[in-house]
Amino acid sequence: MHKACYFDGEIRDGAAEIDAVSSAALYGKGVFTTVAIYDAEPFVWAKHWHRLASDAKAVGVDLSGFTEEGIRRAVDEIVGHNSVGNGRARITFFDNSPGAIWPSDVSGKTSLLIITAEKQAETDGVRLGISPYPVNSRSPLAGIKSCNYLENQMARDEAKRRGFDEAVRLNDRGEIASACMANVFWLKDERLYTPSLRTGCLPGTTREFVLEDLECIEVEAGVEILEQADAIFLTSAGIGVAQAANYNGKELRRINRPMIAVMPGPSR
């Protein structure tokens, strides 16, 4: 991560801070998105902003003091300051309002933090397992990219302890939902599939981009279908498109099409 960040209207060369007794700190009340940066430009920016605004409304984070144009200028400012050519930026809105359980005199305003980093390391050759931790498709946070992300991180950490890079998570009905930190696609008999939003998966911006560019069938399917897949792919803004080399101990053959070709050059 680059040292300089954008916080509440200014670039800072040190740490940014939120109030320790705010709803953001106590309950993780906030929303975020990670944007891929290609040639110093945020990729599929409109999709990211739409999801940020929608998720903020869903969890009650007040964005009335912000505009899409203003946030885009802030992204451009920190990307330029940190000389990010091809990398990534995380945009986070923190709710600084006091909580009803632990009332305080915090400001109540929403804070904006934008941090940047280099592009994640190449992820071809992903070793993919199955997570024991289900996605709750009935949760009020299902499909929302909130700051309550510890469950995702713990699921990924558990997979890594077993020697995997990532893991497929099923929902409470036993349907494929996502990976811990990414959306899932699979190819079978020249047809591309991905879990539907009804499974509780996150409506990822890269997922949406792929659906717009390729013919893909959205399904609710059990995990057994992955045993028959010709190829499995993970997608996110951080990794672009990554193909699994191994699924649950089974080697998968390399397929260069159709998924990899839809992304901009730096993610291929």
pLDDT at 145: 97
End residue of a domain, out of 118, 148, 167 = 118
Comparing 250 with 259, which gets the higher pLDDT?
A: 250
Q: Are both 32 and 92 inside the same structural domain?
A: yes
pLDDT at 267: 38
With 0-12 CB in 10 A as exposed, 13-18 as middle and 19+ as buried, what is 189? exposed
In the chain, % of residues over pLDDT 90:
80
pLDDT at 88: 96
Q: Is the pLDDT at 151 greater than 80, yes or no?
A: yes
With bands split at pLDDT 50, 70 and 90, how would you rate the model's confidence at 51? very high
Give me the CATH number covering residue 73.
Answer: 3.30.470.10
Residue recorded with tokens 């110093």: 40
The pLDDT tens digits for 184-234 are 999 999 999 999 999 999 999 999 999 999 999 999 999 999 999 999 999
Q: Quick one: average pLDDT of 96-108? A: 80
Which residues lie below 8 Å from residue 102, measured CB to CB, with a gap of 6+? Answer: 21, 26
End residue of a domain, out of 67, 101, 118 = 118
pLDDT at 16: 87
Q: What is the DSSP string of 185-236?
A: EEEETTEEEEE-GGGT----HHHHHHHHHS-EEEE--BGGGGGG-SEEEEEE
End residue of a domain, out of 96, 118, 140 = 118
Q: Are both 159 and 250 inside the same structural domain?
A: yes
The pLDDT tens digits for 24-50 are 999 999 999 999 999 999 999 999 999
Q: Is the pLDDT at 266 greater than 50, yes or no?
A: no
Comparing 265 with 56, which gets the higher pLDDT?
A: 56
Quote the domain boundaries for residue 79: 5-118
Q: What is the mean pLDDT of the chain?
A: 91
The pLDDT tens digits for 224-256 are 999 999 999 999 999 999 999 999 988 998 876
pLDDT at 255: 77
How many CA atoms, within 13 angstroms, populate the side-chain half-sphere of residue 125? 2
With bands split at pLDDT 50, 70 and 90, how would you rate the model's confidence at 143? very high
Q: Are both 113 and 146 inside the same structural domain?
A: no
Whether the predicted model's global pTM rises above the 0.85 cut: yes
Q: Are both 138 and 114 inside the same structural domain?
A: no
Q: Are both 149 and 237 inside the same structural domain?
A: yes
Q: Is the pLDDT at 123 greater than 70, yes or no?
A: no
The pLDDT tens digits for 57-76 are 999 999 999 999 999 999 99
Rounded CA-CA distance 180/168 in Å is 7
Comparing 259 with 238, which gets the higher pLDDT?
A: 238
